């Protein structure tokens, strides 16, 4: 069924029967590309260039009025009807429930997984992102380091919470990788890599986080998803 959504005027679908992904290879963006790779769902990625202000274009805003990536169109949504969806956490839950993978069907385990997903959305992402701003981008020129240090301290606290939880566990939920890991570890990787904040947060003090991050980064689906969509 051909797409009739306005976003396809700017990003035409070559394979209209596949999930259409509109994204960038950022920590939030790769959550969805990694999940799609892990789940082996057919999809077609489209690069949303912030340099070109694609996220502010009428076509993108027709799908996501919040002008953030990632966003998807699924031609085979609930009830066989097309579904447009944005917010990375919502997309992870949707894809997991669509396939019956990466999110347990057991109610208690499911809600425990969702609590860690919400923990990432409400804490890890905003705090690590602000630390990245103050350490690597425009904030590094501010003479007053109190704002930076606030995010340093909160990032350390969050890493400590995660490190303690991971003791004796292979993954956040125990024995299996889940959408909680897919949400959390791209941000941890970005914090110590792209944001260059390892020394600030005392990276060596979180051996359990370091161990699971290495296992996460070694997964073939993760390695593929981290570079999707490919930058031009």
User: pLDDT band at 105, cuts 50/70/90?
Assistant: very high
Note the pLDDT tens digit of each residue in 140-184.
788 888 988 999 999 999 999 999 999 999 999 999 999 999 999
User: Is the pTM for the entire model greater than 0.85?
Assistant: yes
At residue 227, does pLDDT exceed 80?
yes
What is the predicted pLDDT for the residue at 3?
A: 59
SS3 labels along 131-199: HHHHHHCHHHHCCCCHHHHHHHHHHHHHHHHHHHHHCCCCECCECCCCHHHHHHHHHHHHHHCCCCCHH
Helix, strand, or coil (residue 23): strand
Q: What is the DSSP-derived secondary structure letter of residue 54?
A: G
What is the predicted pLDDT for the residue at 140?
A: 78
Contact 192, 124 (CB under 8 A): no
Q: Smallest Cα–Cα separation from 223: which of 180, 176, 185?
A: 185
Burial of 152 (0-12, 13-18, 19+ CB in 10 A): buried
Domain boundaries, the chain: 6-102, 107-219
At residue 220, does pLDDT exceed 70?
yes
At residue 93, does pLDDT exceed 50?
yes
d(CA 219, CA 97): 21
d(CA 44, CA 140): 37
Domains 6-102 and 107-219 fall in the same CATH topology: no
At residue 2, does pLDDT exceed 60?
no
Which structure tokens are listed for 80?
């066989």
Q: What is the pLDDT averaged over residues 191-209?
A: 97
CATH code for the domain defined by 107-219: 1.20.1050.10
CATH code for the domain defined by 6-102: 3.40.30.10
Give me the percent of the chain exceeding a pLDDT of 90.
92
Strand-strand pairing, 19-23 and 71-74: antiparallel
User: pLDDT band at 1, cuts 50/70/90?
Assistant: very low
């Amino acid at each position: 069924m051909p797409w009739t959504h306005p976003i396809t005027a700017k990003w035409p679908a070559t394979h209209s029967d596949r999930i259409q992904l509109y994204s960038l290879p950022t920590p939030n963006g790769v959550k969805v590309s990694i999940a799609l790779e892990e789940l082996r769902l057919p999809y077609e990625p489209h690069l949303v260039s912030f340099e070109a202000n694609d996220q502010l274009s009428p076509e993108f805003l027709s799908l996501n009025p919040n002008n953030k990536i990632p966003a998807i169109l699924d031609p085979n949504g609930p009830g066989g009807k097309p579904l447009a969806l944005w917010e990375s956490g919502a997309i992870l839950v949707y894809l997991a429930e669509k396939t019956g993978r990466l999110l347990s069907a057991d109610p208690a385990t499911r809600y425990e997984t969702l609590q860690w997903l919400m923990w990432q959305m409400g804490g890890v992402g905003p705090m690590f992102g602000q630390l990245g701003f103050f350490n690597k981008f425009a904030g590094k020129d501010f003479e007053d380091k109190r704002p930076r240090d606030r995010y340093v301290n909160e990032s350390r606290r969050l890493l400590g919470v995660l490190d303690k939880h991971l003791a004796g566990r292979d993954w956040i939920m125990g024995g299996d990788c889940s959408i909680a890991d897919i949400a959390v570890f791209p941000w941890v990787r970005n914090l110590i890599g792209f944001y260059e904040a390892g020394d600030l947060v005392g990276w060596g003090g979180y051996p359990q986080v370091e161990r699971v991050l290495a296992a996460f980064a070694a997964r073939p689906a993760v390695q593929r998803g981290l570079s999707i969509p490919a930058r031009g």
